[in-house]
């Protein structure tokens, strides 16, 4: 067993760290306040190969492993979790799914520009459309309908809380074709945002990850060619679940990054701030908080890397990704709350960053499967 990153991993980690500090840190407070999507930064991230990290180079990807993805996600999330979720959705929910289950033609047409994150000099990213007003955790309860019309599907319905909703060019849409078949009646369709009948709703005004681009998306009589279905008829729900297992490694790494960012700021602040005649790092109350933060973060990191390793080695990573996600997201919430406490009054104002991290942390316990859903997945796996 090796607990050491190789040279290539260290290089990717350094590149992501440099990018986060040089490109993501400037303006992060303003983007959060104004809910501004970091289009320029994400374009540059794509130029670095970070929008299709695990995709084969033949399809425009960077051909890296999942360990590299975890490392890059942690570094970007330490600084700007909004940029990180855009990166995570494109990498794990869109590119990975197309790479593993798409046809050759779908890969050429859609995967290649999505993995490059660019087309004709413009940002080109994707979104994953599973959630609906009445289908969040209960994901089989799809009300979006894809009616089989022979050589095309007629798509009608509404999807909610879609990350990259307005900025994406390509949507992977889960929809019900045969309600009587339950989860086996669901298909995943590749839909372009600019097709007739596709409409983007208003931007959501969120508690955290305010720089990410979250919208509802409406479909009215959208004609989707059968050739844009991923996999066989009825594979859509299985596609969503398999893809989400990888997505959960991405969100776990995002949570890990938020926690590490909040911890690093707390460590630095506690060596500078003085109370009662000494640095607050000299008070045992603060030392114990820092010790607990560091310990929980290390445990979260090991769970993320373990799950990534399993995925890279072709093993079933459903259980480990849910464990990583539930633990890392709860760690992010706890660490960022303690970080605000360590900073005291300064922690409650925007300039010190940790209040944003606390707000950003919350969503990691909700999207790509709530903590409760992760516990369902874990308990089913250990009880079977």
Give one DSSP letter per residue of 354-375, joined into a string. Answer: HHHHHHHHHHTTTTTS-HHHHH
Does 254 interact with ligand CAA (rule: CB under 6 A)? no
Contact pattern for ligand CAA over residues 80 through 99, marking x by CB under 6 A: -----x---x----------
Taking the CA of residue 30 as centre, how many other CA atoms within 13 Å lie in the half-sphere pointing to its CB?
5
**Residue 194: phi, psi to the nearest 5?**
-90, 10
Contact 53, 69 (CB under 8 A): yes
Give one DSSP letter per residue of 99-143, joined into a string. Answer: HHH--HHHIIIIIHHHHHTEETTEE--EEEE--BTTBSSSTT---
Number of residues lying near ligand CAA (CB under 6 A): 24
Q: Pick one of 163, 188, 266, 320: the residue that binds ligand CAA (CB under 6 A).
A: 163
Closer residue to ligand CAA in complex, CB, 264/312: 312
Burial class (CB in 10 A: 0-12, 13-18, 19+), 200: middle
Please list every residue from 281 through 320 that binds ligand CAA, using CB under 6 A. Answer: 318
Query: d(Cα 190, Cα 206) in Å, to the nearest integer?
Result: 27
Q: Pick one of 154, 200, 241, 294: the residue that binds ligand CAA (CB under 6 A).
A: 241
Does 250 interact with ligand CAA (rule: CB under 6 A)? no
Q: Pick one of 34, 58, 137, 220: the residue that binds ligand CAA (CB under 6 A).
A: 137
Catalytic site residues? 368
Q: Give the gyration radius of the chain's Cα atoms.
A: 21
Closer residue to ligand CAA in complex, CB, 313/380: 380
For residue 131, the minimal CB distance to ligand CAA (Å) is 5
Contact 94, 170 (CB under 8 A): yes
Window contacting ligand CAA (CB under 6 A); options: 46-54, 97-105, 201-209, 373-381: 373-381
Does 379 interact with ligand CAA (rule: CB under 6 A)? no
Does 171 interact with ligand CAA (rule: CB under 6 A)? no
Contacting residues toward ligand CAA, per CB under 6 A = 85, 89, 128, 130-131, 137, 139-140, 162-163, 183, 237-238, 241-242, 244-245, 318, 367-369, 373, 376-377
């Amino acid at each position: 067993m090796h607990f050491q990153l190789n040279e290539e991993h260290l290089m990717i980690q350094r590149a992501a760290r440099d990018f986060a500090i040089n490109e993501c840190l400037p303006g992060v407070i303003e983007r959060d306040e104004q809910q501004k999507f970091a289009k320029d930064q994400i374009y540059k991230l794509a130029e670095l190969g970070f929008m299709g990290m695990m995709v084969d180079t033949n399809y425009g990807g960077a051909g890296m492993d999942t360990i590299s993805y975890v490392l890059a996600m942690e570094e970007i999330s330490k600084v700007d979790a909004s940029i990180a979720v855009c990166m995570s959705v494109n990498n794990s929910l869109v590119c990975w799914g197309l790479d593993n289950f798409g046809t050759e033609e779908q890969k050429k047409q859609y995967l290649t520009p999505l993995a490059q994150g660019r087309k004709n000099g413009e940002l080109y990213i994707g979104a994953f459309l599973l959630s609906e007003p009445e289908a969040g955790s209960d994901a089989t309860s799809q009300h979006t309908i894809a009616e089989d019309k022979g050589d095309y599907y007629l798509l009608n319905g509404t999807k909610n809380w879609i990350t990259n909703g307005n900025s994406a060019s390509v949507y992977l849409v889960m929809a019900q074709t045969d309600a009587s078949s339950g989860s086996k009646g669901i298909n995943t369709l590749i839909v372009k945002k600019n097709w007739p009948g596709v409409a983007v709703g208003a931007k959501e005004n969120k508690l955290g990850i305010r720089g990410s681009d979250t919208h509802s998306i409406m479909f009215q009589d959208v004609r989707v060619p059968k050739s844009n279905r991923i996999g066989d008829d009825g594979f859509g729900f299985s596609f969503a679940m398999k893809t989400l297992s990888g997505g959960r490694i991405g969100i776990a790494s995002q949570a890990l990054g938020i926690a590490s960012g909040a911890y690093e700021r707390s460590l630095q602040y506690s060596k500078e701030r003085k109370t009662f005649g000494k640095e607050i790092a000299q008070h045992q109350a603060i030392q114990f908080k820092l010790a607990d933060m560091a310990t929980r973060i290390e445990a979260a990191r090991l769970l993320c890397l373990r799950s990534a390793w399993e995925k890279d080695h072709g093993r079933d990573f459903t259980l480990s990704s849910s464990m990583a996600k539930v633990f890392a997201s709860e760690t992010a919430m706890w660490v960022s709350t303690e970080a605000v406490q360590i900073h005291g009054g300064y922690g409650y104002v925007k300039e010190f960053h940790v209040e944003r991290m606390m707000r950003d942390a919350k969503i990691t316990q909700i999207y790509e499967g709530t903590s409760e859903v992760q516990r369902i997945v874990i308990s089913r796996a250990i009880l079977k």
